[in-house]
Structure 1
Amino acid sequence: MRSLFKNRAFARLFLGRLITNAGDSVYTIAAMWLAFELGGSSFYTGLAGFLTMLPQAFQFLVGPLVDRWQLRRILVGTQIVQGILVLTIPFAAAMGWLSVGVVLVVMPIVSLLNQFVYPAQQAALPRVVEEEELVEANSAFSFAYQGVDFVFTALGGIVVAAVGAVSLYLIDSVTFAIAALVFVGVRIPPADTNDSDRDEDTKNVTSAMGDYRMELSNGIRYVCGSALVWVLLGSLVVNATIGTALAVLPAYANAYGGPDTYGFILAAITGGMLVGSLSATPLKRFSLAALSVGGFALSGLSWLAAVAVGWLPATVGLFFLAGVPIGATNVIFSAMVQSVVPEDLMGRVSSVLASGSVGAMPLGSLLGGIGGDVFGNAVVMTTAGFGLLFISTCWLTHPLLRNLADVEDLRVERYGLTRSKQPEPSESF
């Protein structure tokens, strides 16, 4: 993996991801806890989760734009605008205008801008590293995401307890500014494409919209025509249940102690995902089916035990264990997609996958907030464990999925994961 960091473009992408994820981790703690504190019930954290996750369900709409626009401009521009937006929270607090309504307006706007970042980074990786380095590159990116989450989520909860949630928004604005400066220096090669008219920007609006619809359709058709669609259906259910858990987690953690406990539980989950992502390279020799069936079974049982045990140290440890298989499979699936999808389709396909995988999370979050007030937070947390077990069962019972090979020996044509390029329009928008 050391050789990856000799690659200047990859090193800058990695550093930028480290910095911006540090801010995002702190922001997540501050935003969800502030919604709970200002609103006073799980309903408001559920509503906050719904509004924040809803843009993720429509990430597929930005895929064609990511494949057309310069990736560096996307990365820099989103960081600058998000940094300005998060400053509205401390400004509103200073002016005496802060309310749960202000938080509920700012959160989804910041999240909407962030939907450009993930597919842009996914599209950039196969352009700056060799194909045989993709698993290691994704593992490093997962470390940047989950490792920073592990540290700053725990620190965020402690800082919220010490100085209040509003102060964390000031920290977050600084991280966005620094990340923008890092991304400015990234040099990302253009995608391999036979389209000689990509840089034409003088076409009329009708033609541009026709191109957009065609390119969006190509991304959706690629996913729906492959085994990826079955993976998404299982993920849809498990992510809905995770959404319910995130909605009640502040109130659930508050029963144990307060915002520091909230931070520790979130840090345990992301810490487990970190360990899983770092173990992805040796695990890639196993079949994808075996990793999914065994991994999510372990994850679901650990989650259920964490809720049932009733002793905080054991709860934190079991949530950590539940996160390990999730981190490993995320890295390996990302590498699989990047190794077989044509570069000029990567933005669309990755955004369709992201939208599909989290599409049920906003509804799950909203229902979780309501369910927490009606049935109790522990009941809602338990449903997430059964959601993880569901995805294991889904892989075990589906005839195509249970025979899915490892990422390096995958016979792509059998699963509809063709390397051939989709027909592209000649117009630009």
Structure 2
Amino acid sequence: MNHLFKDSRFVRFFASRTSANIADSIYSVVLLYFVQQSTQSVAFTSFTYTAVSAAAIFSFLVGPLVDRYSPALLASLALFAQGVLILAVPFLIQDGMINLIAVLLIVFIASCFSTLFYPANSKMLPLLIRSPDLIIRANSVISSTDQIINIAGYLAGASIIIAIGMKNTFFLASGLLFLAGAIYVRLSKQIDTRSTEPRDSGNPLQLRPYLKELQEGYTFVKNHTFLRVMLPFFALTNFSIAILIITIPSLAVSYGSPIYYSLLYIAYFIGMFMGSFLVNVLKKSGATIAASWVAMGIAIYLFSIVPDIWMKLSAAMMLGLFTGVISVLQTSLIQIITPLPLMGRVTAFMSTMSSAALPLGALIGGALTLRFALPDVLFFSALITALCGVFMFISKGIRQFELPTAERSEESVVQSTEEAG
């Protein structure tokens, strides 16, 4: 772990990503608070969440850009654009439906730039760190830091709004995004991507080559057995979690205080924080991912049946723990087995498929709550999740898959490249 932070490039990468995530956390809290306060409508708040999450469905479109141009410069461009857009929101904080619609439009456009940031960010890590073992450790550090930021966001978000005011909170988030973008600009000068970019990376991207490059990312996923089989499970994770997310506010209301809403999320984030570190001592294999999936299903089931709030908090923490393990391993395995020239397209394609399951899960979960009791809906989510884990155990290809170690990394990349051909 110390080896990571001795690398000044990784320190800059980590600082920039952390600054961007802090900004995102603050921005998310103040945005939803602003919309709810302005409209007094849960429906309009849900529209805002949809605007934020729906843009991720189009992530696959930016894949060729990430593979063709400097990922650090693309990430900085995305952050600067988001910073400018968020800077405009405070000037629209007043009554009037027209202004609220303008906010939704700005939020959607900002989220579109966010779909560029994350694939670029994902490609930068294996450019900075070539060892598979260090990639897993780096993702562990990043994931655990993300959870600390999430916990702090839910604990301190309202306090920041009260302390400096709603408009100034937007300004703070925008400033942090500009800071993160500036660090990435500096980092772009220290990352040599010439050996990993296509030969024509300096030429303008035209429609026919663009479509061909999109096809190459899809073809790699289709031809790589592990990614092809795992892709539906990546989506089903978000599908199940979305069903859980839409039930939490109702549970908090049933316990009589909004504080329980924050506590349930905080317990979940604490679990993810622990899972991000636990992955370092677990076997990096498909069997570990399968076992974690079964444990997730059990945690959701326990969450649905236990009556007391402290029991639900414990179940939420257990769910977060195994979600954290899966998240780190999934992110790492994509970065390790994907050749760098295809990293942007593969990451963006996988992100699109997973993100599409979020609104679908929320939609189906909401429809189910109209007909079935809440525990029954959660049981449905738990059953899907657990069955996914069972199927993985049955599948020999998944069960026996192991992430390559440092000694096998070059062999793995060569094999992955051949599978893409």
Please tell me the TM-score bracket, short chain as reference: 0.7 to 0.9
Aligned to 2:152: 151
Structure 1 vs Structure 2 CA RMSD: 3.3
C-alpha distance after superposition, 1:336-356 (max 9, x if no partner): 222222111111111111112
Between stretches 346-355 and 69-78, larger displacement belongs to 69-78
C-alpha distance after superposition, 1:98-140 (max 9, x if no partner): 8764554333222211111111111111111132421112212
Distance 2:381 2:36 in 1: 20
Distance 2:195 2:300 in 1: 43
Pairwise mapping of residues 165-180 of structure 1 onto structure 2 (< 5 A)? 168-180=169-181
Q: Find 1:197's aligned residue among 196, 200, 218.
A: 200
Aligned to 2:417: 419
| 1:243–1:110 CA distance, 2 compared to 1 (3 A) | farther
* AA at the equivalent of 1:188: I
C-alpha distance after superposition, 1:140-196 (max 9, x if no partner): 221232222222233225656888876643432232122222222212221524844
SS of the equivalent of 1:130 reads coil
Distance 1:176 1:255 in 2: 37
Distance 2:91 2:292 in 1: 45
The offset of 1:376, in angstroms, is 6.4
Aligned to 1:264: 263
1:124 aligns to 2:127 (yes or no): no
Q: Find 2:296's aligned residue among 299, 303, 312.
A: 299
Structure 2 residues not aligned, in runs of 5+: none
* AA at the equivalent of 1:280: V
Distance 1:300 1:112 in 2: 32
Indicate if the aligned counterparts of 2:286 and 2:402 stay in contact, CA closer than 8 A: yes
* TM-score (norm. length: structure 1): 0.85
Indicate if the aligned counterparts of 2:78 and 2:117 stay in contact, CA closer than 8 A: yes
| 1:403–1:217 CA distance, 2 compared to 1 (3 A) | same
| 1:363–1:158 CA distance, 2 compared to 1 (3 A) | farther
Distance 1:225 1:161 in 2: 53
C-alpha distance after superposition, 1:348-397 (max 9, x if no partner): 11111111222221222234445556656665555443343232133123
Could you tell me the percent identity over the aligned residues?
24
Q: Find 1:350's aligned residue among 332, 347, 350.
A: 347
Indicate if the aligned counterparts of 2:25 and 2:153 stay in contact, CA closer than 8 A: yes
Distance 2:365 2:260 in 1: 20
Indicate if the aligned counterparts of 2:77 and 2:181 stay in contact, CA closer than 8 A: yes
Indicate if the aligned counterparts of 1:252 and 1:378 stay in contact, CA closer than 8 A: no
Aligned to 2:229: 230
The offset of 1:35, in angstroms, is 4.8
Aligned to 1:360: 357
Aligned to 2:309: 312
Distance 1:415 1:188 in 2: 20
Aligned to 2:275: 276
1:55 aligns to 2:55 (yes or no): yes
* AA at the equivalent of 2:147: Q
Distance 1:304 1:38 in 2: 36
Greater percentage in helix: 2
SS of the equivalent of 1:58 reads helix
Q: Find 2:218's aligned residue among 217, 220, 230.
A: 220
Pairwise mapping of residues 3-402 of structure 1 onto structure 2 (< 5 A)? 3-35=3-35, 43-94=43-94, 101-132=101-132, 133-156=134-157, 168-186=169-187, 187-193=190-196, 195-201=198-204, 208-226=206-224, 227-257=226-256, 259-283=258-282, 285-289=283-287, 291-369=288-366, 371-372=368-369, 380-402=377-399
Distance 1:416 1:233 in 2: 25
C-alpha distance after superposition, 1:210-233 (max 9, x if no partner): 111111111100001122121111
* AA at the equivalent of 1:321: M
Distance 1:350 1:44 in 2: 31
SS of the equivalent of 1:419 reads helix
* TM-score (norm. length: structure 2): 0.86
